[in-house]
Amino acid sequence: MRAGWSYVGRRALFALITIFVAISLNFVLFRLAPGDRTSALRCQGCTEEFKQQLKADYGLDKSIPEQYLIYLKTTASGDLGRSFVTEKPVTSELWESIRNTVPMILLGTILAIGLGIATGVLAAWRRGTIVDRSSVWGGLLFYSLPTQWLALMLILYLAGPLHLPTSDISDPYLAYTDPSTSAMVVDRLKHMILPAATIGLVLFGEYTLVVRSSMLEALGEDYILTARAKGLSNWQIVRRHALRNSLLPIVTLIFLSLGFILGGTILIETVFNYPGVGLEIYQSVGDRDYPVLQAAFLILTISVIVMNFLADLLYFKLDPRVTE
């Protein structure tokens, strides 16, 4: 028990140190960006006096150490600054985008987990057959396809026949009809299907290959032979022994992909014009809206670190022997 708490404490401390380093790097890298910061404030042609006033308003007239200390203090309090473009708090802008992105990611991930685990288990169990080869080639295909190309193919071949929307997050005409809650939920889900399917298919290939590899390793263990000798059915062997003992790498992959896919939605949300974090980042790059970019990258980094920490905890839960 003491070893377990020690393991959790070490992982938590490592996560906190990593978050602090990420916050510091996030500050430094954006300060190293080329060009005068006032140019990002839409201040071309402004007088020198007005530029100085803008710098003072955004705290850019202070020294770098002072800016860093202020940045640490405001970040710790949840204040991520104001947008150069809208002059609204960055936190409120990103929160709306995150609320749109997270359900789409969860829907796509659930789809990928279900299909990936089922296909990987079947491929491992039917190793060397046409089912196995088809699953491997299918997994490699979806894993290697460019995300934006896959999104465009879904629009080309599925949007029309299935009457699915290809942009935005809701029907703009729905607001004029006083819709019910169920109608709004259905409309949101329809707009989410194609972006979520793109995420699901990309992750499906990766999950299939990892599950197959992990299952093949588990199926070669001695306890599988013992289970066969006891007369257990194929389903019982897979469910009770093989799949359960091959969950560790699968769980790690799922948690890490949840963190990374939040930043990987930039291409998907741009193709579908889906108002999430990815599209917010894309538009902020064009607008040189540094506070939004700085906050978005910080949130993405922390999400990866947190998911990695949760994967470590679940790893320990699944296998208490993991204490290093």
DSSP annotation string for 4-71: HHHHHHHHHHHHHHHHHHHHHHHHHHHHTSSS-GGGGGT-TT--HHHHHHHHHHTTTTS-HHHHHHHH
Candidate ranges 51-65, 86-100, 146-160; pick with highest mean pLDDT? 146-160
- Of 173-182, 188-197, 252-261, give the lowest mean pLDDT range: 173-182
Give the pLDDT band (50/70/90) at residue 281: confident
What are the backbone dihedrals phi and psi of residue 82, each rounded to the nearest 5 degrees, phi first? -115, 145
Q: In angstroms, rounded to a whole number, what is the distance separating the alpha carbons of residues 59 and 277?
A: 26
Q: What is the pLDDT of residues 103-142, one digit of tens each?
A: 888 888 899 988 998 898 888 888 888 988 999 999 889 8
Is residue 34 in some structural domain?
no
DSSP state of 38: G
DSSP annotation string for 99-147: HHHHHHHHHHHHHHHHHHHHHHHHHHHTTTSHHHHHHHHHHHHHHHS-H
Amino acid at 3: A
Is residue 297 in some structural domain?
no
The mean per-residue pLDDT over the stretch 250-262 comes to: 74
Q: Kindly tell me if the per-residue pLDDT of 148 is higher than 70.
A: yes
Is residue 15 in some structural domain?
no
Task: State in Å, rounded, how far the first CA of the chain is from the last one.
Answer: 14
Residue in 214, 249, 240 with CA at minimum distance from that of residue 319: 249
Give the pLDDT band (50/70/90) at residue 216: confident
The mean per-residue pLDDT over the stretch 235-244 comes to: 77
Rg of the Cα atoms in the chain: 24
Please report the pLDDT score of residue 322 as a whole number: 60
Is residue 232 in some structural domain?
yes
Q: Kindly tell me if the per-residue pLDDT of 314 is higher than 60.
A: yes
107 neighbors 113 (Cβ within 8 angstroms): no
121 neighbors 207 (Cβ within 8 angstroms): no
Give the pLDDT band (50/70/90) at residue 275: confident
Please report the pLDDT score of residue 2 as a whole number: 64
Is residue 231 in some structural domain?
yes
User: For residue 284, what are the CA distances in angstroms to 100, 148, 238, 292?
Assistant: 17, 20, 48, 7
CATH at residue 148 = 1.10.3720.10
Please report the pLDDT score of residue 137 as a whole number: 92
Q: What is the pLDDT of residues 64-105, one digit of tens each?
A: 788 788 888 888 888 887 787 777 888 888 888 888 888 888
Please report the pLDDT score of residue 83 as a whole number: 80
Please report the pLDDT score of residue 62 as a whole number: 74
Is residue 294 in some structural domain?
no
215 neighbors 121 (Cβ within 8 angstroms): yes
User: For residue 241, what are the CA distances in angstroms to 122, 147, 218, 233, 244?
Assistant: 15, 35, 8, 11, 5
Q: In angstroms, rounded to a whole number, what is the distance separating the alpha carbons of residues 53 and 47?
A: 10
Is residue 310 in some structural domain?
no
- 65 Cα distance to chain centroid: 32
Please report the pLDDT score of residue 323 as a whole number: 56
Please report the pLDDT score of residue 3 as a whole number: 60
**Could you give the number of structural domains in the chain?**
1
Q: Kindly tell me if the per-residue pLDDT of 36 is higher than 70.
A: no
Give the pLDDT band (50/70/90) at residue 320: low
Is residue 184 in some structural domain?
yes
Structural domain for 201, as ranges:
96-288
